[in-house]
Amino acid sequence: MQLNYIANAFVPSSSGKTIAMIDPSDGQVFEDIQRSNAHDIDTAVVAAQDCFELVWRRISAAERGRLLMKLATKVAAHADELALIEQRDCGKPVKQAKADAAALARYFEFYAGACDKLMGETIPYLDGYSVMTWREPHGVTGHIIPWNYPMQIFGRSVGGALAAGNVCVVKPAEDACLSLLRVAELAAEAGFPAGAVNIVTGYGHEVGDALARHPGIDHISFTGSPSVGTLIQQVAAERHCPVTLELGGKSPQIVFADADLDAAIPTIINAIVQNAGQTCSAGSRLLVEQAVYEPLLERLGKAFESLQVGPAAMDLDVGPLIRQSQQQRVWDFLSDAQVANIPMVAQGQIVDAAPDTGFYQAPTLLRDVPPQHRLAQEEVFGPVLCAMSFKSEDHAVELANSTRFGLVTGIWTRDGARQFRMAKRVKAGQVFINNYGAGGGVELPFGGVKSSGYGREKGFEALYGFTTLKTLAVRHG
């Protein structure tokens, strides 16, 4: 049984209750975690507050950097172990799980180097004054994390918060949290003081809600669904607690007739099948200029048919979805497509070795999806690519901006002027020209507009969100 991690020790929840963890590859229970409650959150917040007041706020920025670097080294040394945990917990194919562990180490490495480079300014002002700004940590930051990329999202969120001088209370998703409990233990081994990194597991409506409401939480970083993001924002508003919201997306991949299709095709596919489509920035809408719509769909159809789906340990193109309800969600979208006579171009194959009790879904390519249909408007969060054609640049922009989301846009064209015109007109937090995701570099600020959320994580930019600015004006005559 897995316990919470508070003040550098594994402790049970005061509830005495647990939640069963299910392996998505076979649908079987393999572990229990704590079903924590508001009391456990309070214990973690008090531990974090003590750590901040007594130890952490006195530690120099350079020393924080050294600790983060030691943690990066530890994570890298335990990458295979962490990847194996994530593989079982989330159903991630081996390569993806290893990539996530490597990204976690890289986040800590990046933020290790950033700690002592976060500076304020001096401001020219009236004669007789000296004015400066200080970037100060919020204090105790709360982190609510989803199940799709536990390690990566922990790395970008907790890594940034620690680098900026905060201490953290983390509520991972109830479906996938085991890797993070191990990372917290590694943080203690790396020398982080008790209370700097605390993990409390449990259900969102219980322990997540308690975290968001706790008066000792000075900033909330939430990554998850738009509907829960709304709840978090409302709860935080009651005490004017600052919030960063990293929510969903319905991101377009836009292909013009002059695009290099050979380069585009594997990227288009990866952008929707990676992590079985359970990626906030999945390129789930494919907008194609009319002249290449048919040839591109033909080639993509063949590629989709060759995609193989199976247990995480088999390390195929696609693993299982996280849980049965997620599988049902994808099935519901696909049956809506049938009802609306949306044509299916192709599907991948679920291998025979995949247990019937696992949560598998073959990657699916749909075409001529009406732009206002819910398949083109809502997150499926599964490996379903919705294609539609456009007539002109204006039409492409109109379609790209036609959802409530604005997270990522990919644009494929060889026309340099059009690249910039399009990049300026699409509503998104990140725009990729002739690529999609740029390899997910930790250096690249990430976040959305509209219902994709606000605030930025990743990159140096995140550190501004994890600090508050104090202005000091000294009158010396």
Of 43-51, 80-88, 202-210, 268-276, the segment contacting ligand NAD by CB under 6 A is 202-210
- Residue 248 in contact with ligand NAD, rule: CB under 6 A: yes
Q: How far is the CB of 77 from ligand NAD (least distance, A)?
A: 27
- Residue 382 in contact with ligand NAD, rule: CB under 6 A: no
Q: Is 51 a catalytic residue?
A: no
Structure tokens at 258: 């002059």
Q: How far is the CB of 204 from ligand NAD (least distance, A)?
A: 2
- Residue 239 in contact with ligand NAD, rule: CB under 6 A: no
- Residue 247 in contact with ligand NAD, rule: CB under 6 A: yes
- Cα–Cα distance for residue pair 467/219, rounded to 1 Å: 9
- Residue 400 in contact with ligand NAD, rule: CB under 6 A: no
Q: Could you say which residues in the range 414-453 bind ligand NAD, by CB under 6 A?
A: 453
Of 117-125, 146-154, 416-424, 461-469, the segment contacting ligand NAD by CB under 6 A is 146-154
- Residue 385 in contact with ligand NAD, rule: CB under 6 A: no
- Residue 276 in contact with ligand NAD, rule: CB under 6 A: no
199: β partners:
5, 170
Closest to ligand NAD by CB, 224 or 348:
224
Of 6-14, 88-96, 142-150, 192-200, the segment contacting ligand NAD by CB under 6 A is 142-150
Q: Could you say which residues in the range 207-236 bind ligand NAD, by CB under 6 A?
A: 208-209, 212, 223-225, 228, 231-232
CA distances from 157 to 134, 320, 462 (A): 21, 26, 8
Given 246, 289, 379, 457, the catalytic residue: 246
Each residue 287-326 as x (binds ligand NAD by CB under 6 A) or -, in order, gives ----------------------------------------
3, 104, 161, 173: residue in contact with ligand NAD (rule CB under 6 A)? 173
- Residue 96 in contact with ligand NAD, rule: CB under 6 A: no
Of 98-106, 244-252, 304-312, 346-354, the segment contacting ligand NAD by CB under 6 A is 244-252
Q: How far is the CB of 294 from ligand NAD (least distance, A)?
A: 31
- Residue 188 in contact with ligand NAD, rule: CB under 6 A: no
Q: Could you say which residues in the range 107-136 bind ligand NAD, by CB under 6 A?
A: none
Given 280, 289, 379, 457, the catalytic residue: 280
Structure tokens at 167: 């201490």
146, 165, 406, 410: residue in contact with ligand NAD (rule CB under 6 A)? 146
Closest to ligand NAD by CB, 97 or 300:
97
Count of residues in contact with ligand NAD, rule CB under 6 A: 29
Q: Is 280 a catalytic residue?
A: yes
- Residue 280 in contact with ligand NAD, rule: CB under 6 A: yes
Nearest alpha-carbon partner for 286 in 456, 175, 410, 420: 410
Closest to ligand NAD by CB, 48 or 247:
247
110, 111, 147, 454: residue in contact with ligand NAD (rule CB under 6 A)? 147
Q: Could you say which residues in the range 341-380 bind ligand NAD, by CB under 6 A?
A: 379
Annotate the chain with three-state secondary structure.
Answer: CCCEEECCEEECCCCCCEEEEEECCCCEEEEEEECCCHHHHHHHHHHHHHHHHHCHHHCCHHHHHHHHHHHHHHHHHCHHHHHHHHHHHHCCCHHHHHHHHHHHHHHHHHHHHHHHHCCCCEECCCCCEEEEEEEEECCEEEEECCCCCHHHHHHHHHHHHHHCCCEEEEECECCECHHHHHHHHHHHHHCCCCCCEEECCCCHHHHHHHHHHCCCCCEEEEECCHHHHHHHHHHHHHCCCCEEEECCCCCEEEECCCCCHHHHHHHHHHHHHHHHHCCCCCCCEEEEEHHHHHHHHHHHHHHHHCCEECCHHHCCCECCCCCHHHHHHHHHHHHHHHHCCCCEEEECEECCCCCCCCCCCCCEEECCCCCCCHHHHCCCCCCEEEEEEECCHHHHHHHHCCCCCCCEEEEECCCHHHHHHHHHHCCCCEEEECCCCHHHCCCCCECCCHHHEECCECCCHHHHHCEEEEEEEEECC
| Residue type at position 107 | Y
Residues that bind ligand NAD (CB under 6 A): 144-149, 171, 173-174, 204-205, 208-209, 212, 223-225, 228, 231-232, 246-249, 280, 379, 381, 407, 453
Q: What are the residue numbers of the active site?
A: 246, 280
